[in-house]
Amino acid sequence: MKSLSPAKVTLRQDTHPDPDFYYQQQFAIYHDRYLIWDRETWEMVLTTCDVYCIEVDGKCAGDVILEDGRKGKKYVVDFSILPDYQGRGVGRLVLEQIKTMAEKLTAVTRKETLLFFLKSGFVLKRTLKNYYDPGVDGFNIVFEKKPEK
């Protein structure tokens, strides 16, 4: 698939996120049941975090959900790209925008997406055994801005 130019991808803050929309969207993205949050969890996350809709040509292509932490740190609660937009450079472009939003970003990711984050400047801090499900580890990753000289 071909990559997209940066002008076509936008990150729009969703100040009134619809829990039904985000709840349904995850079924197109995640193929393993243990990765899918229930509706109650979505409602809690959407009311306590900053929600961003990833748009490509004005159409929703996924989401980014960030939670504020201490000392300029943000936790990436969810970073999802819909299947039709995967492998086209959308995630890479969005991640570059996210990296400007905090001094330090931290997240837990899966084996399938770990390399993507490592190639984007994140560092693996530790492996969380059985984090997602028995036999399915999570990987705690961190990105810190380099101090300007």
**Domain contains 30:** yes
pLDDT of res. 34 = 86
**Domains contained in the chain, number:** 1
Q: Domain range holding 39?
A: 8-144
Q: Which residue positions in the chain have pLDDT lower than 50?
A: 6-7
**Domain contains 3:** no
Distance CA 84, CA 10 (A): 16
**Domain contains 62:** yes
CATH of the domain at 62: 3.40.630.30
pLDDT of 43-71, one tens digit each? 999 999 999 999 999 999 999 999 999 88
pLDDT of res. 3 = 59
Identify residue 22 by its one-letter amino acid code.
Answer: Y
**Domain contains 1:** no
pLDDT of res. 6 = 46
Query: Which alpha helices (H) appear in the chain, and where do they start and end?
Result: 19-29, 39-48, 90-98, 111-119
Note the pTM of the prediction, 2 decimals: 0.90
**Domain contains 149:** no
**Domain contains 70:** yes
Beta carbons of 141 and 123 less than 8 angstroms apart: yes
DSSP structure class, residue 7: G
